[in-house]
Amino acid sequence: MQESDYLQHIAYDSVIFGFSGEKLKILILEYYTAGLFALPGGFVRKNEALNDAVWRGLKERTGLDNIYLEQFYTFGDMARYKPEVMEQIIKGNKKPDQDLSWLLERFLSIAYYALINYEEVIPTPDDLSDSCEWYEVDQLPPLILDHTQIVQKALETLRRNLDRKLVGVNLLPPRFTMKELQQVYEAILGEKIHRGTFQRKMLSLDVLKRHEKQYSGAANKAPFLCSFE
C-alpha cells in the first residue's frame, strides 16, 4: 500500500453481516502480534469511486461480488484518532519494507453494512491482518478505535429498516421457509417473535411468493418454500 495511490484522510469500514441459520454474525479481522481486532476496511484509490472501493474490499474479504451494500454513517470524532493503535498494527506487519507511516494520520471513516450468504463466504484477511473470522454479534471481541460504535450503529440501522431491507438481499438462500425467515428476524432483533404474528405480518407486506413444499419428514408437516417477489 502506497500513500500516493489513495485519497488522503478518507477510509471506509464495513460491517459484514451473515446468518448461520441460528445466529447473526459479523466478520472480524485479527492482528495476532498486536492482539487487536477490527472491522474490515480500507482506503479509496485516487482513480475509483467510493462505492467501488468498498465493493473491491468486500470481494477481497469474502470472495463474493453479489452483496447487498448500504452506506449508513460517517464517523469522524476526535476520539477515533489514536495513532498508537495503528502503530501497533504496523509494527506487527509482515511487510516491514513498506513505509506505512501515513496510516498514523487522522482518517474520517465512511461506514457501510453488507448482508451476505454466510455459506458462500471465504473469509480472507487483508494485507495487515492475520485472520478474518466470523463472530456472533453478541459475542464480539473488544474492537479498536470506534469500531464497536460502528457495529452498534449498523445494527440500529438494520433493525430500523428491517422489513424493507430484507427484500432481495442475501442473508437467506433464494428459497427459504417461513421459519428460516423468522429466525433471521429474531437474530437481528435479538428477541423471540410469536410465530402466528410474524407470519401474518410477512404476508401482509405482500413481498413473498410461495413455492413447492420442502419434504424432509412427515408430508403433513412439510413447510412451503418462499422467495422474495
Q: What is the DSSP string of 156-225?
A: HHHHHTHHHHTTT-SSS-SSEEHHHHHHHHHHHHTS---HHHHHHHHHHHT-EEEEEE--SS-GGGPPEE
State residue 94's pLDDT score: 62
186 in the same domain as 114: no
What single letter denotes the amino acid at residue 67?
I
151 in the same domain as 181: no
If pLDDT is split at 50, 70 and 90, which confidence band does 215 have? low
157 in the same domain as 82: yes
153 in the same domain as 186: no
- pLDDT of 162-191, one tens digit each? 766 664 556 787 788 888 888 888 888 888
103 in the same domain as 144: yes
As for how many domains the chain has, the answer is 2
Taking the C-alpha atoms of residue 77 and residue 178, their distance in angstroms, rounded to an integer, is: 42
Phi, psi (degrees; rounded to nearest 5) at 174: -55, -35
If pLDDT is split at 50, 70 and 90, which confidence band does 43 have? very high
Whether 170 maps to a domain, the answer reads no
Pick the last residue of a domain from 165, 193, 218: 165
Contact yes or no for 126/30 (Cβ under 8 A) = no
222 in the same domain as 152: no
Q: Say which CATH number the domain at 219 has.
A: 1.10.10.10
120 grid coordinates: 458462500
Q: What range defines the domain where residue 211 resides?
A: 176-228
52 in the same domain as 161: yes
Tell me which of 171 and 70 has the higher pLDDT: 70
Pick the last residue of a domain from 165, 187, 216: 165
If pLDDT is split at 50, 70 and 90, which confidence band does 102 have? very high
Q: Pick the range with the lowest mean pLDDT from 57-66, 81-90, 96-105.
A: 96-105
62 in the same domain as 7: yes
Whether 171 maps to a domain, the answer reads no
Tell me which of 163 and 227 has the higher pLDDT: 227
Mean pLDDT value of segment 218-229:
72
